Amino acid sequence: MSLLNTTNNPNVLVGLETGDDAGVWSLGDDRALISTVDFITPVVNDARTWGRIAAANSLSDVYAMGGIPLFGLNLVAWNNDELPTELLSEVLQGGLDIAEKAGMAIIGGHSISDPEPKYGIAVTGEVDPDHVLTNTGLQGGQDLILTKPLGIGVITTAIKAGTVDDDSLEAAINSMERLNDVASRVAISAGTTGATDVTGFGLLGHLGKMTKASGVNAVLYVDQIPFLPAARQYVEDGIVPGGTRRNLAWIADQVDARSFSEIDLLLLADAQTSGGLVFGVDKDKSSDVCAELEELGVDAALIGETDAGEGKISLR
């Protein structure tokens, strides 16, 4: 625990204590920096596509906190013995594709030699200190909105196994490459204070962190939660990443699953890469928010609601 203690520095607006997506550092009354780092191993076979996904994944935590990215530093682990440097150029070009889309500059980086390639970006952004979206910001009586379908972990496992179908592959890549910028902007203008992005711990894991930190319970409407095309079929066929099973074991005590099956639970706990945002919004605004997101090309779904509580998640 002491290892995770941040300092008592008054400039730290958000540190490690709440398990939030990024750190926030005050620059004065109305300005704050946001800082985060993330890197991943390959999830698809095409180098440039992987670069784009890794970059979008790295930027996601900035958007999950309500910020915008300013600049980033590339982090690269590359197998120099077995992989050509042209392939690395492709990966970095993918990162630049996304940086350009996000209006962010890449201003440096560092690489090491490593048998298993890894790529990501350490991102510095800016956030309005009065509108930081955190894990502690959910309130009782809100609707919960999710902005990307689940099932990425299952589909990328099928990619690695060589059994993925074309529709699922394309949908997964499109979803992972998409930035959470629009979702973040719409959430902030709707008055959202509690948000996170759904990544390695899956929807149940990340929502469970938020409900605990915020002191609310959540109900999930399982039928309304969107999934990538063949995700359920793959889980039924036993294609489940180890991380997804660990997620479910870790969160199980916090979830009232009622009569839902283990398949449903694994899908809800599936470890995501570059997943969407999940956020709370006042009930009188949620249908407008969903409509606005749809109009802007975001696959948003109203997936549940919150109530006063101690962090439980119930499936309905």
Q: Which residues bind Co ion (CB under 5 A)?
A: 21, 38, 61, 197, 199
Nearer to Co ion (CB atom), residue 274 or residue 286: 274
Residue (197 or 305) nearer to Co ion, CB: 197
CB of 199 to Co ion, least distance (A): 5
CB atoms within 10 A of CB 245: 15
Minimum CB distance to Co ion smaller for 168 or for 177: 177
The residue count for the chain? 316
**Shortest Cβ 187–Co ion spacing (Å):** 14
Closest by CA to 183, choosing from 196, 169, 167, is 196
- Chain residue whose CB lies nearest Co ion: 21
The nearer residue to Co ion, 38 or 270, going by C-beta atoms, is: 38
Q: Are 72 and 126 in contact (CB under 8 A)?
A: no
Least separation in angstroms between residue 262's CB and Co ion is 26
Shortest Å, Cβ 62 to Co ion: 9
DSSP 8-class letter at 134 = B
Joined together, the tokens standing for residue 181 give 């910028």
What angle (nearest 5°) sits at the alpha carbon of residue 55, between those of residues 111 and 247? Answer: 100
For 177-187, letters b (16+ CB in 10 Å) and e give: bbbbbbbbbbb
Please tell me the distance from the alpha carbon of residue 62 to that of residue 98, in angstroms, as a whole number: 14
Sign of the four-CA dihedral 183, 185, 186, 190: positive
**Closest distance between Co ion and the C-beta of residue 37, in Å?**
8
- Which residue, 37 or 70, is less far from Co ion as judged by CB? 37
